[in-house]
Amino acid sequence: MSPGDLYREIAVSREEFGEGAGKLVKREEVPFVRFCKGIHKRFPSLGKGAKFGKEHREAVDFLGWNLKAEEFAATAKFVLIATIIIGVLASIIISVSPLRDIIIGFVGVPQLVMIYIAAPFVVIALIATNYIQSYPVSAAQTEQTKALTYVPEIVGYMIMSMKLVPNLEKAVEFSAEHGSGKISDDFKRIIWDTQIGVYGTLSEALDQLAYNWGKFSDEFKHALMMIRASVLENTEAKRYQLLDKTMTTILTSIRDKMETYAKELSEPSVLLFYLGVLLPLILIIVLPIGSAFSGTSMASTWVLVGIYNILIPVVTLLFARHVLKKRPPTSESPKIPDNYPGLPPKYKARIGKSLVDLRLIIASMILIGVAGSFVLSVEGIPPKSWSEPFAPQLLAADRTIADVMEDVSQPVDYYEDGSAFERTLISRYGEERGKQLFVSERTKFFSNPKNDATPYNLIFGLVLTISLCFFAWLYFTNVYKRKAQLVIEKMESEFKDSLYILASRLGENKPVEEALKHTRNFLPGFEISKRIFTKTIENIELLGMPLELAVFDKNYGSLRNVPSRTIQTGMRILVDSVKLGVNVAARTIISLSLQLGNSEKVNKDLKLMISDTTSMMRTMSIFIAPVVLGVTTALQKVVMITLSTIQTSSVGNTLSDLSSLPGGAPGGLGSISQGTQLFAIDSATQASMVQPWQFVIIVATYVLQLVFIMVYFSSKIEEDNDILFRLNLAKALPIATIVFLLSVIASSTVVGNFG
């Protein structure tokens, strides 16, 4: 009998086939489709008479969703109406609540307050509706991107089968059995549809599949056409030549798309830098000046928190995720479960030879960090209360307002509301002008680095404690998994090489047990030989297991603790092909080895193409961004000093006689001359502007957020591996935090020298 006859006659015995007939289970709809059906069921009139546009019709057909146009239209209208109603109700509640006064204080014009209240809800309604309307097309495009990985795999399996026997039905069945992704599901579906009579032949079903995929993956459509054409070749050599050309064409097309994607990455990366780094630097200049001209609280603490810690991080993260969705997926990284052999118990960390509870470590770090920060803030190093009177401190304690006022020989309450200084200014220049002068002088005085009362030791200590706690948690919960993952990835690389040796022995008509032994002995240093081949041989010889159980048995199989889809699929192909004969198995394994080599090449090519971008993003997240944001904290003081100086110089009265005021004017108010009222800012708005210590906390928080976003982007764009991302984040956070703190110290020192 020929290998083709054997291939046609083989009956694969699987565990699921021996369980008897099961219940007919209806395919579960995706959440979006279920949501649309639920809305249409409750409000059917909203979608009456609706029809799909061409783009949406193609997307829904491609995805295989059981979604009607009426259901989709009803959902879009419902979301728009619901969000508008919620927005109106929320606007009414806000307009009669104390929030209205806060918004009026920010806007400055009571007549415009309703516009500012309602505008965000209108934007939310439009965004939500647009999301619903574009979701099917977006989902189809996501599947198109994923196809860049699944297409070479599926086509490789089809070619592998077609080289054994030129039978389209067998090739589709083989690909559906061993492939993955939506293409594999579509192959299974057309097999079923052909069997129940939806299509007359499988060739007809493949034509329809090629047509559906052609709008989203042109290379897959051409590959199916070329594979079908290979059946018509009258010689094996010509068939092989056409099949090899098909694989080469697919890989070339995939590589071209990856090169295009890699080239297009430069612009999003630069835009991400603008959004995450340069925009905060620009805003710290624009917002205070905007406040001065408009008289609104654009630079208040809560506005800056909303911008720096909510708006910019959210927009930057959404943009990063949008770019990542277009990334061509490569091979799937091994997923290491918590109970993987060799890992410490959950929430445990290895310290030396001992296991320590990670939660205890984090709690200890928080306690020590918080207590140490307070001690350093009050005492410094060495503690000033323990030192000799003239012994220098390596780290000075934080200066308080009392210390600053003592240096200028003024009472502690000199710049407090209701002080003698404020009352004198009000009595001499009127209520509003006096308060303006008082607030301006207070802002200018404490923004001067020489009079800075920011508790840097406390803030820096707490920020560093937070980053170290994140480091400890992320590092110790992922470093052991990463080590196991690297071992599995090494085994996957070794598996490709070992297949050549295994196929050569099988090609000599040797039994699979002997071929496995020879491969193990030929490659004794390979992890794949120690963990899989040796275990398989022992199961066969010592436990008397057949090959399939020796490999896949749940309790004793050699792949029991090998979470690698590549190895699992490869060994399944080996087991199935051996049932067709060792010669057929040898040819199949050689083809599999070539396919794995092609897949590895695609992965390496993509990493090489985007290496410049990922390196730049890592440098940006760890060094450039923290340095720039550290400089921003010093720049904020310069801006506040400048605005306060201009504000006091434009009050409209000559104040050169302020030296006669109680205690003089330590902020330099006596040098202010007559000017013109340039700004509309009042004392209340100016008093609400962010203080230096508050701004340091805001920016420090933003640095941690930005490092997360940048590392997420650079890690995910290189490899879709959550373990590697968390480990990279653990390493980047403390470094970026230290760089930021040093940048704040250096920039403050430079500004202080010039001040």
| pLDDT at residue number 10 | 44
Query: With bands split at pLDDT 50, 70 and 90, how would you rate the model's confidence at 74?
Result: very high
For 181: left if phi > 0, alpha if psi spans -120 to 50, otherwise beta; the answer is left
Report residue 634 CA to chain centroid gap: 30
**Residue 466: what pLDDT?**
95
For the record, the structure tokens of 233 come out as 């070749």
Taking residues 347-353, report their average pLDDT: 85
Is the confidence at residue 726, as pLDDT, over 80? yes
How far is Cα 709 from Cα 703, in angstroms, rounded to an integer?
Answer: 10
> 89: which residues sit within 8 A by CB, 6+ positions away?
none
pLDDT in tens, 693-718: 888 999 999 999 999 999 998 888 88
Place of tokens 């198109």: 144
Q: What are phi and psi for residue 376, nearest 5 degrees? A: -65, -35
Domains of the chain by residue range: 50-142, 147-263, 266-335+611-754
Question: For residue 484, what pLDDT is reported?
Answer: 92
Q: How far apart are alpha carbons 152 and 247 in whole angstroms?
A: 7
Angle at 86 between CA 85 and CA 87, to 5 degrees: 90
Which residue type occupies 335? Answer: K
d(CA 445, CA 449): 9
Contact criterion met (CB below 8 Å) for 410 and 663: yes
Nearest to 358 by CA among 467, 475, 473, 471: 473
- Region of residue 49 (left: phi > 0; alpha: psi -120 to 50; beta: else): left
Backbone angles phi, psi at 41, to 5 degrees: -65, -35
Q: Which residues contact 561 (CB under 8 A, 6 or more apart)?
A: 340, 341
pLDDT above 60: residue 139? yes
* pLDDT tens digits, one per residue of 481-535: 999 999 999 998 899 889 888 988 888 888 888 999 999 999 888 999 989 999 9
Nearest CA among 27, 60, 33 for reference residue 188: 27
CA angle 79, 85, 91 (to 5 degrees): 130
Instruction: Write out pLDDT tens, residues 289-335.
Output: 777 676 667 778 888 888 899 989 999 998 888 888 777 766 678 88
Residue 266 contacts residue 613 (beta carbons within 8 Å): yes
Read off the pLDDT band of 684 (50, 70, 90): low
* Distance between start and end Cα atoms, the chain: 95
Higher pLDDT, 187 or 753: 187
Q: Residue 209: which pLDDT band, with cuts at 50, 70 and 90?
A: confident
Q: What are the residue ranges of helices labelled H in 420-478?
A: 420-429, 431-447, 456-476
The 10 Å Cβ neighbour count of residue 599 is 20
On average, the pLDDT of the chain sits at 82
Q: Is pLDDT above 80 for 65?
A: yes
**One-letter amino acid for residue 508 of the chain:** E
Contacts of 595 (CB under 8 A, 6+ apart): 152, 153, 156, 157, 160
And the tokens for 156? 């490789």
**Rounded distance between C-alpha atoms, residue 292 and residue 680, angstroms:** 6
Apex 684 CA angle, 403 and 91, nearest 5: 130
Q: Sign (positive/negative) of CA torsion 233, 239, 244, 247?
A: positive
What are the helix (H) ranges across 165-217?
A: 168-178, 181-195, 202-214
Residues forming a β-bridge with 381: 395
pLDDT at residue number 682: 62
Q: Which residue has the higher pLDDT, 87 or 180?
A: 87
Q: Which of 157-171, 589-603, 736-750 has the lowest mean pLDDT?
A: 589-603
d(CA 104, CA 88): 19
For the residues of 545-610, what is the DSSP string, one character each? --HHHHHH-TTT-TTTT---HHHHHHHHHHHHHHTT-HHHHHHHHHHHHHHHHHHHHHHHHHHHHT
Torsional sign, CA 456, 462, 466, 472: positive
Percent of the chain with pLDDT over 70: 86
Give the tens place of pLDDT for each residue, 370-392: 999 999 998 888 887 775 655 67
Q: So what CATH class is 147-263?
A: mainly alpha
Write out the two tokens for 523. 């490659």
- pLDDT score of 367: 96
Higher-confidence residue of 654 and 175: namely 175
User: pLDDT > 90: what percent of the chain?
Assistant: 21
Candidates 629, 621, 633; CA nearest to 735 is 621
